[in-house]
Amino acid sequence: KQQPPVRKKQGTSPGTLIYTGKEKPERIIVTAIHYNEHVFQETQILKNQIKRHSATDNTITWINVEGLTDISIIEKTGSEFNLHNLLLEDVLNVYQIPKLDDYHESGILFITLNEFKLINNTCDLEKDQVSLIIGNNFVITFQEKAGDVFEPVRIRLRSAKGIIRKRNVDYLAYALMDALVDSYYIILDRYNEELFAIEDAIISKPKSNYLQPIHNLSKNLITFRRSVAPLKDVINKLIKEESYIIQETTKIYLRDITDHIEQLTTTIDTDREFLTNLINTNLSNTNNRMNEIIKVLTVISSIFIPLTFIVGVYGMNFENLPELKSENGYFILWGIMILIVIVQLIIFKKKKWL
Amino acid sequence: KQQPPVRKKQGTSPGTLIYTGKEKPERIIVTAIHYNEHVFQETQILKNQIKRHSATDNTITWINVEGLTDISIIEKTGSEFNLHNLLLEDVLNVYQIPKLDDYHESGILFITLNEFKLINNTCDLEKDQVSLIIGNNFVITFQEKAGDVFEPVRIRLRSAKGIIRKRNVDYLAYALMDALVDSYYIILDRYNEELFAIEDAIISKPKSNYLQPIHNLSKNLITFRRSVAPLKDVINKLIKEESYIIQETTKIYLRDITDHIEQLTTTIDTDREFLTNLINTNLSNTNNRMNEIIKVLTVISSIFIPLTFIVGVYGMNFENLPELKSENGYFILWGIMILIVIVQLIIFKKKKWL
Amino acid sequence: KQQPPVRKKQGTSPGTLIYTGKEKPERIIVTAIHYNEHVFQETQILKNQIKRHSATDNTITWINVEGLTDISIIEKTGSEFNLHNLLLEDVLNVYQIPKLDDYHESGILFITLNEFKLINNTCDLEKDQVSLIIGNNFVITFQEKAGDVFEPVRIRLRSAKGIIRKRNVDYLAYALMDALVDSYYIILDRYNEELFAIEDAIISKPKSNYLQPIHNLSKNLITFRRSVAPLKDVINKLIKEESYIIQETTKIYLRDITDHIEQLTTTIDTDREFLTNLINTNLSNTNNRMNEIIKVLTVISSIFIPLTFIVGVYGMNFENLPELKSENGYFILWGIMILIVIVQLIIFKKKKWL
Amino acid sequence: KQQPPVRKKQGTSPGTLIYTGKEKPERIIVTAIHYNEHVFQETQILKNQIKRHSATDNTITWINVEGLTDISIIEKTGSEFNLHNLLLEDVLNVYQIPKLDDYHESGILFITLNEFKLINNTCDLEKDQVSLIIGNNFVITFQEKAGDVFEPVRIRLRSAKGIIRKRNVDYLAYALMDALVDSYYIILDRYNEELFAIEDAIISKPKSNYLQPIHNLSKNLITFRRSVAPLKDVINKLIKEESYIIQETTKIYLRDITDHIEQLTTTIDTDREFLTNLINTNLSNTNNRMNEIIKVLTVISSIFIPLTFIVGVYGMNFENLPELKSENGYFILWGIMILIVIVQLIIFKKKKWL
Amino acid sequence: KQQPPVRKKQGTSPGTLIYTGKEKPERIIVTAIHYNEHVFQETQILKNQIKRHSATDNTITWINVEGLTDISIIEKTGSEFNLHNLLLEDVLNVYQIPKLDDYHESGILFITLNEFKLINNTCDLEKDQVSLIIGNNFVITFQEKAGDVFEPVRIRLRSAKGIIRKRNVDYLAYALMDALVDSYYIILDRYNEELFAIEDAIISKPKSNYLQPIHNLSKNLITFRRSVAPLKDVINKLIKEESYIIQETTKIYLRDITDHIEQLTTTIDTDREFLTNLINTNLSNTNNRMNEIIKVLTVISSIFIPLTFIVGVYGMNFENLPELKSENGYFILWGIMILIVIVQLIIFKKKKWL
């Protein structure tokens, strides 16, 4: 239930690598893909098989590591690809907001992103970190947990569909980030569905209280937005970055991603505004229910309180109370009382209180 | 009732063409128009008559296909005009948000748009997909359902009104999109009417509950906005696109469309803000009704509860209760009670509770 | 009561001119002003006196037509000044939003604007169309109804005040549009007054319900904003337009108008936000009134219900009920009951319910 | 109580000067300061001592006129400094929004600003006009009422503090406007204090109704904002103005003022949003009070209504009603009734209604 | 409880230095760090040890003064580093909003910032001033109170981690400001936690009133935002400043800080919007509680008021009231009354009022 911090910078980061997440050790899957326009090779490899291809090989290497609990894999990758220790620390520190670091000296771009899953098909989010390391002829991705968010990219690589195999590492990086952002739409679709479901329930079953699901969705939308929105800055930085890795032709595609993020955040904002309306609608329903209750109270009181007064009158013990001696007094009184009730019922019927 | 997804990208699109909509097969109408400044020929054609004119012919061809249930027509069009399979898939996948694809290699621009109809003159929207394929000397349009949204363009072509027959395919494409956006204004006019109708009802007949129509309109406005807003990006991309198809002179017109969309979304936003006010007004009315009910309860209780107490006093069985023996006690009591009622009625009259 | 459409484009405009407004034929006033720095001539003319001065004359002609019910005047003007039929149709189609059309071929700019009047000094708007036709040495204005919105310009022309007589047609057009926008401020001042009047009433006389005037003002503000806001785009287009009519020196003045419109719309938005607060305040007042009513109910019930119970006790017919036989029982009971009432009154006084 | 108009342009301004404010004639103070880097002379002068120094004198003249009721002073100043009659009219027409007029021909810039005072330390604003006339070697300021808003500038001039005496008239004009804008912060501080005071009261004394002070503050904030916001446009125009008076070096300072105004308007907007929340909080308090009242009603009714029924049972006159004959019936009944009360009190205690 | 003024400019600042804060004299800590790429020396020094290194020394000096109560230290620093008296006054005047002053003549940049601490781990803010004086080879920082906000920078200097020791004073200044802005995130994290805690409480324990904590948090967020937002302008000015101190390479880093501030203010705005929703939710809860209370009242009244009427009927003293003479009348009546109660309970059960 602990809300992860908005942003956490380790003032005093010791030189040792520590995984900050809460997962228990599990089997880690490392997949290596080597490809160029003509060649494609995909293998699931062991820790000690991680190695860098020379640039003259003319292929692009994409290594995907799923799971962060085995530090030695991260260390091995770091030493093989000559990655800065600070970068490796950031891979393991899983409570970060999306960011871009440019390691000029080693010619490496490092991007931290988030992957989202819906827990048990509720609206609650599981937020995992995805790290993207872009070198001159390789891309390394670290996923905090096993997931198939990159599967569409793999399929396009295998089938050589589109231009992905003809382009450089920057296009691969774009394709991976695009696949990630695509997965955000699934979350948002789920939230939109939930939103309309709550609204339908409020309108069709106005008797219940919907504050709980409204606020639950609202909280999830805020958390989601806070993770998605900074991504736009990351991509914009990438576009402005004077790195030789990102080519002009790819920047057009990256701009496409920022458009998607803009669209996502706008949709989230519309949704949240809509939730505010639902809170007011729920309040309206509460007051409508109260109306109904008070109507019953008023109708019953209005009918019986005057009658009780009348019978009280003839319960008095005055020695001289003429009506009491009348032969048919009691029956006449009943007649009067029934008349009063009928008149009142007609009035309430007219007022639509019945 | 299933809300169509905000955006759906087929990660693994197999090579076969499948129509994703829910319509049953129906007669499909294919219309071909060939024109230039001097020539105009309009014919309703059969599937196997679909063919591409050579560019040297110096005419522009506009083929309009209404209905998507016959895959063979789409295939025939694809092979005749040399369209990419991916493009044909997108024509058939009718749950897309507006987008622009540039098929550089074949010199074709592909635009996906939405056409809206109001179901049975209610505010509920039927959203159909319109695909626009722009080549060097042809435009092909696919409408998911038969519709006359392009009729104004046809009329201008027939009558050679304005400059449409003197201009190139890009102007035809502009005219078609403009006709589509014009049709959006009719939807919005209907929504504005509905909005003011609800407001008038809330003000003039405050007794009822208007949450249902308010939320219905609100939901429709959101759905409408989500389909209209992305169109602006599509047109902007078209303006920025370095395609030789779209000429500078036409871009000025395209900017006009983005202005219209901007105006549409602003109007929608104002409407939605207005609906929020109506929710609060409806709540005010609910509370006013409750006020009225409680007034009745209070007036009746205030009058009869004290009287019931008084008659209760003289219903007591004390052996020594002097008033009971008074000859006129009963009649004096009636006088007092009537006086109490009159005083209370005056007070309530003053408080305007009666 | 029919809300005019947001925007209506006649897809199939036949070649005949038809006035779309609802006014009955009335006397139409045509005024012609010819001027340059040294000359000024102002005459009220007849239909057949409408004629174009040659450009070598070196004067500027401003023809103002008040009233659109006589089609022949529009036709005569059209033929004399060589105006496109489409333009004349737009002059007569009075349900348009502000727009700018550039008739390149004839070197004419056509601007559609709106004039507003308050009906019977209420807040309800009467919206009339004003058309502005700018040629190389003439300006023609068509007003749907007679009005004096252009009077300040006439005065400046007559008295040669300011630089208006030294400048070209574009400055005249600017002066006319500026006079029109100035007239909008009078409407807005009236609305601001109304707004503060409603607010004062809500605060000082909280007993009434103010939903009706609030929503009436709100609706008028929305209608007003929808007509005013698009004007900014029109002026901006005019500034960007590469027409030789609009000179650079005049564009600075035009920018001034867009500033005014920006200011108008911002003020309207602030006003509407303020109205939302008033709806909530009105709701607060409703609930305060309910509070008062329920207090009365509670006080009376709290006092008399227990007393009624007490007298009920001694109305019981138990054979062995000792207090009934006490000589002073009845009077002691009255003492107790008066004590109970006094204690309750003190408590309610403390709670400020009395 | 008359709300001054948002903007008032005199279409037909006759040539005579008339003061439009409501102040009675009072002693008018005219102060003249002549200075350059080495010289400083400050004198309070009479009407006929107003005169222009020749530009060769190499000093800057600042004449400050406090009070506008003596037209002859304005006329004298006008003739001495060769000011346009239109400008003098604007000095006297005190219901204007901030504006900048550039009198190119005479090389004079004319700025209209507003000075604010809080009336009797309430939040109500007194709005006075300040006119700023900037010539090549002089600045003339007209204040509608005596005030010390320019005192800080005078002090800096006297003590030659900062660079003010080394710079030109444009810097003096900047310093004067900056002093004016600084005085706005005092108003805003007062409003912020009031805002937090109202909020504290609402939270700590929730029993009262705070709609009156909330709306009073809200109205003042709107009025204040409407006068402050247009100032930004004025300064921006001044920056863009191609007047030789305003030098590039001073424009940086002017940009500083626009930043301050931006900050002021943002703070006002935040405050107004906060007031909206207070209206809702006030409503919450109203409903809380109602809750308390209804609890009392419910507790008393729930206790006594059943008891009254019970005693009513034994007040019945059935000939065969066995309990009445029981020796201890009456006392047993009291026991039962006390038990019922105790049980109810426990239940209400648990529900926290007591 | 005194709200510090939004902005306070001392019109008449006398030449004497006065500390405007409310702290009592305390031990002041002065720390001096001298470093370059190869050298690092950190010492805690006495007042008279403060001295300026010559620029030829090729080291950078950072002097940090914690505590402002000893004026003589400020004076000594001023004379040693040749600081303007106005600057020293600003160091001591601790109620300022963030600002940047450029002392061109002495080549010194002066920045005023704020440091925040949470008082006793509540959400209440303690706002202290931090002054940053940047010279050609030195940085002097004054903290109003002892604090460790700069500790991360010291650690990086000591350990020569990153590039900080290779860069110039401008980078040191950036690092210090960055450390300060980082500390703002901790405040904001605390506020976000508090926000979600209030929300959880409102949803899970809807019986209480949460206006107090909501408004407390709201006030703190506003105060925080007002201090944080102007910082963006300060940094932007620093970026635009044509000072030779701030190098182009450092400006990229400064832009990073403005991004962080933008992110902070956006998060604050989202939080405040969320608080508005919580106020409405709290209101919903209040009304739900009222619903519950009124249900009890209605149920009890509906059951017993009719019964009381019935027993009242048989308490009447009519001489001819046949049922009274029936042998089993009393018992039959009980049967009828119990039946009525059972029917009512079933109805209320169905309505879910029980």
Predicted confidence (pLDDT) per residue in B328-346, tens digit: 999 999 999 999 999 999 9
For residues E232 and E258, is the Cβ–Cβ distance under 8 A? yes
* E299 and E276 together in one domain: no
Chains in contact with C, counting 3 or more C-beta pairs less than 8 Å apart as contact: B, D
- Is the pLDDT higher at A286 or at A14? A286
Q: Is the pLDDT of residue D50 over 90?
A: no
Cβ-based burial of D297 (10 A; exposed 0-12, middle 13-18, buried ≥19): buried
Q: Is the pLDDT of residue E7 over 70?
A: no
Which of C284, C310, C339 is the endpoint of a domain? C284
Q: Is the pLDDT of residue D62 over 50?
A: yes
* E55 and E92 together in one domain: yes
Question: pLDDT by residue (tens digit) across E218-277?
Answer: 989 988 988 888 888 888 888 877 677 888 878 878 887 888 888 888 889 888 888 988
Q: Is the pLDDT of residue D352 over 90?
A: no
pTM: 0.82
* E259 and E295 together in one domain: no
What is residue C25's DSSP assignment? P
* C220 and C293 together in one domain: no
User: How confident is the model at residue B13, as a pLDDT?
Assistant: 43
Mean pLDDT of A243-266: 82
**CA gap C193, C182 in Å, rounded:** 17
A16-20, B26-30, D56-60: segment of lowest average pLDDT: A16-20
Q: Which residues of A touch E320 (CB under 8 A)?
A: 326-330
Among C223, C255, C226, C227, smallest CA distance to C239 is for C255
Which of A241, A264, A284 is the endpoint of a domain? A284
* D262 and D292 together in one domain: no
Domain at A336, CATH number: 1.20.58.340
User: How confident is the model at residue D25, as a pLDDT?
Assistant: 65
User: How confident is the model at residue A8, as a pLDDT?
Assistant: 42
**CA gap D263, E5 in Å, rounded:** 14
Cα nearest neighbour of B309 on chain C: C308
Q: Which residues of D touch E289 (CB under 8 A)?
A: 291
User: How confident is the model at residue A3, as a pLDDT?
Assistant: 37
Residue in A182, A270, A280 nearest the CB of B283? A280
A127-136, A311-320, B18-27: segment of lowest average pLDDT: B18-27
Partners of residue E64 on adjacent β-strands: E31, E141
CA distance D89 to chain C (A): 14
Confidence band (pLDDT; 50, 70, 90) for A5? very low
Among A184, A264, A287, the strongest candidate for a mutation testing the B interface, having the largest count of B CBs within 10 A, is: A287
Q: Which residues of C touch D305 (CB under 8 A)?
A: 305
In a domain, E117, yes or no: yes
Question: pLDDT by residue (tens digit) across C91-111?
Answer: 888 877 788 888 777 788 999
CB atoms within 10 A of CB D221: 23
Contact E293 D288 (CB under 8 A): no
Confidence band (pLDDT; 50, 70, 90) for E3? very low
Q: Which residues of C touch D276 (CB under 8 A)?
A: 276-277, 280
B128-142, B168-182, C218-232, E95-109: segment of lowest average pLDDT: E95-109
* C257 and C338 together in one domain: no
CB atoms within 10 A of CB D198: 20
Amino acid at C145: K
Per the structure, the complete domain to which residue D101 belongs is given by 29-284
In a domain, A321, yes or no: yes
For residues E177 and E113, is the Cβ–Cβ distance under 8 A? yes
Contact A185 B312 (CB under 8 A): no
CA angle (E250 as vertex; E248, E255 as ends), nearest 5: 100
* C261 and C115 together in one domain: yes
Contact B315 A319 (CB under 8 A): no
Structure token pair of residue C83: 């105006």
**CA gap C330, C326 in Å, rounded:** 8
What is the three-class DSSP state of B262?
helix
Among C142, C139, C141, smallest CA distance to C168 is for C139
User: How confident is the model at residue C12, as a pLDDT?
Assistant: 41
Contact B280 C280 (CB under 8 A): yes
* D153 and D296 together in one domain: no
Contact E287 A283 (CB under 8 A): yes
CA distance D321 to chain E (A): 6
Q: Is the pLDDT of residue E2 over 70?
A: no
- Is the pLDDT higher at D227 or at B242? D227
Confidence band (pLDDT; 50, 70, 90) for A349? very high
In a domain, D9, yes or no: no
**CA gap C290, A290 in Å, rounded:** 13
- Is the pLDDT higher at E341 or at A3? E341
Residue in E196, E263, E305 nearest the CB of A301? E305
* C187 and C330 together in one domain: no
For residues E34 and E52, is the Cβ–Cβ distance under 8 A? no
End-to-end alpha carbon distance in chain E = 48
**CA gap D248, A153 in Å, rounded:** 56
Mean pLDDT of chain B: 85
Task: Give the dihedral sign, CA E337/E338/E339/E342.
Answer: positive
To the nearest 10°, the Cα dihedral for D189, D192, D193, D196? -160
Q: Is the pLDDT of residue A168 over 70?
A: yes
Mean pLDDT of D155-171: 84
User: How confident is the model at residue B16, as a pLDDT?
Assistant: 63
* C335 and C244 together in one domain: no
C-alpha E294 chain-centroid distance: 40
Mean pLDDT of chain A: 85
Q: Which residues of D touch C301 (CB under 8 A)?
A: 297, 300-301
Q: Which string of DSSP letters, residue by residue, matches E224-274?
A: HHHHHHHHHHHHHHHHH---SSS-HHHHHHHHHHHHHHHHHHHHHHHHHHH
Domain at B90, CATH number: 3.30.460.20
In a domain, C10, yes or no: no
Q: How do strand E60-66 and strand E138-143 relate by DSSP bridges? A: parallel
Cβ-based burial of C32 (10 A; exposed 0-12, middle 13-18, buried ≥19): buried
Tell me phi and psi for residue C173, to 5 degrees. Answer: -60, -45
Mean pLDDT of E162-185: 89
Question: pLDDT by residue (tens digit) across D249-264?
Answer: 788 788 878 888 888 8
For residues B142 and B75, is the Cβ–Cβ distance under 8 A? no
Which of C245, C264, C284 is the endpoint of a domain? C284
Cα nearest neighbour of C229 on chain B: B263
CA distances from D212 to C282, C286, D203, E212 (A): 12, 15, 16, 21
Place of tokens 């008559």: B49
Residue in E272, E283, E323 nearest the CB of D280? E283
In a domain, D8, yes or no: no
Among A108, A256, A119, smallest CA distance to A178 is for A256
Q: Which residues of E touch A280 (CB under 8 A)?
A: 280
Amino acid at C340: I
Cα nearest neighbour of C271 on chain D: D222
- Give chain B's residues under pLDDT 70: 1-16, 22-25, 55, 161-162, 242
Q: Which string of DSSP letters, residue by residue, matches E289-335?
A: HHHHHHHHHHHHHHHHHHHHHHHHHTT---S--GGGG-TTHHHHHHH
To the nearest 10°, the Cα dihedral for A205, A211, A216, A220? 100
In a domain, A11, yes or no: no
* B117 and B84 together in one domain: yes
Among B202, B207, B219, B235, the strongest candidate for a mutation testing the A interface, having the largest count of A CBs within 10 A, is: B219
- Is the pLDDT higher at C119 or at B162? C119
What is residue D64's DSSP assignment? E
In a domain, C257, yes or no: yes
CA distances from C131 to A275, C66, C87, C173, D25 (A): 45, 11, 10, 11, 48
For residues D131 and D100, is the Cβ–Cβ distance under 8 A? no
User: How confident is the model at residue D165, as a pLDDT?
Assistant: 87
Cα nearest neighbour of A272 on chain E: E274
A287-296, B226-235, E31-40: segment of lowest average pLDDT: B226-235
A34-43, B283-292, D14-23, D198-207: segment of lowest average pLDDT: D14-23
Rg, C-alpha atoms of chain B: 35
User: How confident is the model at residue B174, as a pLDDT?
Assistant: 92
User: How confident is the model at residue E346, as a pLDDT?
Assistant: 94
Top mean-pLDDT range of A61-75, C248-262, E20-34: A61-75
Chains in contact with B, counting 3 or more C-beta pairs less than 8 Å apart as contact: A, C
CA distance A191 to chain E (A): 18
Residue in C215, C226, C275 nearest the CB of B267? C226
**CA gap E273, E278 in Å, rounded:** 9
Top mean-pLDDT range of A337-346, D118-127, E192-201: A337-346
Tell me phi and psi for residue D127, to 5 degrees. Answer: -110, 115
Chains in contact with E, counting 3 or more C-beta pairs less than 8 Å apart as contact: A, D
* A332 and A271 together in one domain: no
In a domain, C12, yes or no: no
Q: Which string of DSSP letters, residue by residue, matches E60-121?
A: EEEEEEE----HHHHHHHHHHHT--HHHHHHHH------EEEEETTTTEEEEEEEEEEEGGG
Contact C11 B298 (CB under 8 A): no
The count of structural domains within chain C is: 2
CA distance B200 to chain A (A): 19
For residues B22 and B16, is the Cβ–Cβ distance under 8 A? no
User: How confident is the model at residue C24, as a pLDDT?
Assistant: 67
CA distance E169 to chain D (A): 26
- Is the pLDDT higher at D112 or at C3? D112
What is the three-class DSSP state of D89?
helix
